[in-house]
Amino acid sequence: MPDIAVKTLEGGDAETITLSDEVFAAPVNVALMHQAVQRIQASQRLGAHKAKSRGEVRGSTMKVYRQKGTGRARHGDRKSPLFKGGGVAFPPQPRSYAVRMPKKMRRAATRSALTSRLADDGIVVVSSLLPSEPKTRVMLDALYGLNATGRVLLIDEAINEQTERAARNIPGAAFKPASILNILDVLSHDKLVFSVEAIRQLERLLTDASA
């Protein structure tokens, strides 16, 4: 079972905890992680593109000229895609890009990502994310002390107002409850800073027994 040292926001050592093998020592399946990331990114696409077909363009439905006797090609109304100002042939329409993926596969992908991040020292655990003062400077000093720089994600069981006030003006810092953490969050941040309560909640959520 993997062990990890728990720090305090002031930079001291608090304790050492043992993490779940099922969540933080899982097989790393790169293909499954890629599929899970693609699913989230596809679901984030708006799919709001729209162009008018010939049936939606405003205008007369009268033929532009008679069918026979002109020597020219046969045509219908001016709304044909062949004419300027006409409709678009096979126009794009609003649609959903969402891709379905079974819950067990999503959980397995997140476990793979967490195992990978733990192996490359991308996870930090603190006893509490509640700063001594709800000030940006206090939280910034704490993150530097934890060697959490760049894109940092603070994960707690429930984000406290003081934590949010202290971290919201730090460039690259974000915060999220453990209950809605996804694989894109895990892989797109340089450091994941968990509270002990958050990491225990995440273990409960990602075990197959909780399905």
Report the alpha-carbon distance of residue 135 to residue 167 in Å, rounded: 8
In percent, how much of the chain has pLDDT > 70? 98
Task: Using pLDDT thresholds of 50, 70 and 90, give the confidence band for residue 118.
Answer: very high
Strands (E), 8-47: 13-18
**What is the SS3 assignment for 45?**
coil
User: CA angle, 159 as apex, 148 and 9 as ends, to 5°?
Assistant: 40
The hierarchical CATH code for the domain 3-45+100-210 is 3.40.1370.10
Please, which residues bridge with residue 4 across strands?
Answer: 17
Q: What is the pLDDT of residue 211?
A: 45
Mean pLDDT of 68-92: 95
Q: Give dist(CA 80, CA 159) in Å, integer.
A: 57
- Residues 125, 19: Cα–Cα separation, whole Å: 11
Contacts of 101 (CB under 8 A, 6+ apart): 35, 36, 39
**pLDDT grade, residue 108 (50/70/90)?**
very high
Residue limits of CATH 3.40.1370.10 in the chain: 3-45+100-210
> How far is 175 from 187, CA to CA, in rounded Å?
15
The confidence score (pLDDT) of residue 160 equals: 86
Tell me: the pLDDT tens digits for 148-163? 989 999 999 988 889 9
Q: Chain-wide mean pLDDT for the chain?
A: 92
Higher per-residue confidence, 78 vs 159: 78
Residues in the chain: 211
- Residues 92-101 have pLDDT tens digits of 999 999 999 9
- Distance, in Å, from the CA atom of 79 to the CA atom of 148, rounded to the nearest integer, reads 60
As a whole number, mean pLDDT of residues 161-188 equals 92
> Is residue 177 very low, low, confident or very high in pLDDT (cuts 50, 70, 90)?
very high
pLDDT digits (tens, 9 = 90+) for 5-50: 998 888 787 789 999 999 999 999 999 999 999 999 999 999 999 9
pLDDT of 209 strictly over 60: no
162's tokens: 């003081």
pTM: 0.81
pLDDT at 48: 94
What is the maximum alpha-carbon separation in the chain? 94
Give every CB contact of residue 157 below 8 A, 6+ residues apart in sequence.
Answer: 177, 178, 179, 195, 197, 198, 201
Task: State the Cα torsion 127-132-134-136 to the nearest 10°.
Answer: -80
| pLDDT tens figures, 120-136 | 999 999 999 988 888 99
Helix/strand/coil (H, E, C) string of 185-199? HHHHCCEEEEEHHHH
